[in-house]
Amino acid sequence: MTPEEDRQIRSRQKSRAIVTGLLLGALVLLFYAITIAKIGGGH
């Protein structure tokens, strides 16, 4: 495997990790919002 191929693979893994992190963060915010809505709607 050439250094260029290695660099491309690492770049792809990094971008995938960033996307995964953003999705995870979005899910956390979604659950947080739902929880707040449930608590707020209960009163």
With cut-offs at 50, 70 and 90, classify the pLDDT of residue 26: very high
Supply the pLDDT for residue 40. 85
Distances (CA, A) of 14 to 4, 5, 9: 15, 14, 9
Residue 42, pLDDT > 70, answer no
Average pLDDT for residues 8-32, to the nearest whole number? 97
User: Which single residue is written with the structure tokens 């971008």?
Assistant: 15
Residues 19-41, mean pLDDT to the nearest whole number: 95
Global pTM value: 0.70
The confidence score (pLDDT) of residue 1 equals 85
Q: What is the mean pLDDT of residues 10-34?
A: 97
